[in-house]
Chain A
């Protein structure tokens, strides 16, 4: 069974204080690893897909990296508007397109 573990569960950052979120995964064969951002009361918003170890993707203050066992979402010099829950999900090669999600990293950035 595909498993995704995200840590830390919750994180409070001062504005400008860079940090990283971790997503550890177990999957029979990885088709893709996804990062989403979810604001309270809203649906997940797509951020990145990573397909192979060593791949990196960036968007504004966010950078996602991937190894064979885990992914990191680095937040550089965060702003209050980066406050959200960040969800990690994996898609298996034989998984019928379904995503297996972690519980999320809840990030609060304090001005």
Chain B
């Protein structure tokens, strides 16, 4: 148990569907992240939120839409995805300070059919 909870753990969706991934952190952190992990590739940072404000969008296509209603919750809204978007989506959180550790959730496995 890392203190970062992601739901659902597994999701299969069609290319025309709309779905959302949810992340909740119980660590009192004020920064949250979405990472994408594809086979044989390094983890790729998608979005960063500090104190609920988006501070980084790493050239992510608009079919991925993040939402951060408060410092404990983060969503990733998915719409008209492509099969190549199938991957493990990891949420993470940290404290916004000079030296911090980023803690990850267990991830949401997404398959786009």
Contacts and interface: CB of A to CB of B under 8 A. Distances in A.
Interface of A: 4, 31-32, 34, 36, 41-46, 49, 51, 87, 89, 96-104
> Interface size class for chain B?
20 to 34
B90 A46 contact: no
Interface stretch (B14-22, B79-87, B99-107): B99-107
Contacts of B42: 4, 100-104
Interface in B45-68: 45, 48, 50, 55-56, 58
B106 A101 contact: no
Given A4-B42, A42-B107, A43-B2, A99 B56 contact: no
A99 B99 contact: no
Given A97-B96, A99-B45, A42 B106 contact: yes
Contacts of A87: 43
Contact of B41 (A43, A51, A103): A103
Nearest to A6: B42
Contacts of B90: 43-44
Please give me the 9 A-B residue pairs with the lowest Cβ-Cβ distance, nearest first: A43-B104, A101-B42, A101-B43, A43-B106, A44-B104, A43-B107, A98-B45, A103-B42, A43-B105
A104 B42 CA distance: 7
13 contacts: A31-B99, A34-B101, A42-B106, A43-B4, A43-B104, A44-B104, A45-B2, A46-B103, A46-B104, A89-B43, A97-B31, A97-B100, A103-B41
